[in-house]
Amino acid sequence: MTLNKQIGFYMRKLLLLYIILAVSLMPMAAQAKSKKPHKHVAVSSSSKHIKHASLKSRPSLNVTKTRVNVRMPTQKSGAVYADAYDGSGQLLLASSKALVINQLTGETIFAKNTNQSTPIASVTKLMTAMVMLDAHLPMDDMLVIADQDVDYLKGTHSRLAVGTSLTRGEFLQLALMSSENRAASALAHNYPGGINAFIVAMNRKANLLSMKSTRFFDATGLDSNNVSTAEDLARMVDAAYHYPEIRQVTTTASQSISLYGRRDQLNFLNSNALVRGGDWVIGLSKTGFINEAGRCLVMQAEISGQPVIIVLLDSVGKLTRIADANRIRKWIEHNDAKSLGQNVSG
pLDDT at 22: 61
Q: Above 70 in pLDDT, residue 23?
A: no
Share of the chain above pLDDT 70, in %: 73
pLDDT at 312: 98
Q: Which of 76-85, 250-259, 335-344 has the lowest mean pLDDT?
A: 76-85
pLDDT category at 64 given cuts 50, 70, 90 is very low
pLDDT, average across residues 173-197: 98
pLDDT at 256: 94
pLDDT, average across residues 227-254: 98
The Cα–Cα gap between 218 and 188 comes to 9
Q: Which of 15-19, 106-110, 229-233, 280-284 has the lowest mean pLDDT?
A: 15-19
The pTM (predicted TM-score) of the whole model is: 0.77
pLDDT at 18: 64
Q: Above 90 in pLDDT, residue 26?
A: no
Give the residue from 130, 174, 310, 150 showing the smallest Cα distance to 230: 310
Q: Above 50 in pLDDT, residue 169?
A: yes
Mean per-residue pLDDT of the chain: 82
pLDDT category at 317 given cuts 50, 70, 90 is confident
Q: Above 90 in pLDDT, residue 341?
A: no
pLDDT at 74: 33
The Cα–Cα gap between 191 and 195 comes to 7
pLDDT, average across residues 162-170: 96
The Cα–Cα gap between 312 and 299 comes to 9
Share of the chain above pLDDT 90, in %: 66
Q: Above 90 in pLDDT, residue 245?
A: yes
Give the residue from 298, 324, 326, 334 showing the smallest Cα distance to 120: 298
pLDDT at 288: 97
pLDDT at 16: 64
Q: Above 60 in pLDDT, residue 48?
A: no
pLDDT, average across residues 300-305: 96
Active site residue 117: no
Select which of 95, 122, 228, 285 is catalytic. 122
Q: Above 50 in pLDDT, residue 59?
A: no
pLDDT at 85: 84
* Contacts of residue 122, Cβ cutoff 8 Å, sequence gap at least 6: 179, 181, 184, 220, 221, 271, 286, 287, 288, 289, 290, 296
* Contacts of residue 64, Cβ cutoff 8 Å, sequence gap at least 6: 105, 106, 107, 341
pLDDT, average across residues 15-41: 51
Select which of 97, 112, 125, 205 is catalytic. 125
Q: Above 90 in pLDDT, residue 343?
A: no
Active site residue 254: no
Q: Which of 52-56, 97-101, 189-193, 244-248 has the lowest mean pLDDT?
A: 52-56
pLDDT at 40: 34
Q: Above 90 in pLDDT, residue 153?
A: yes
Q: Above 90 in pLDDT, residue 273?
A: yes
Active site residue 57: no
pLDDT, average across residues 318-331: 94
Cα Rg for the chain, rounded, in angstroms? 30
pLDDT, average across residues 169-194: 98
Strand partners for 165: 144
pLDDT at 117: 97
Select which of 179, 228, 271, 285 is catalytic. 179
pLDDT, average across residues 175-191: 98
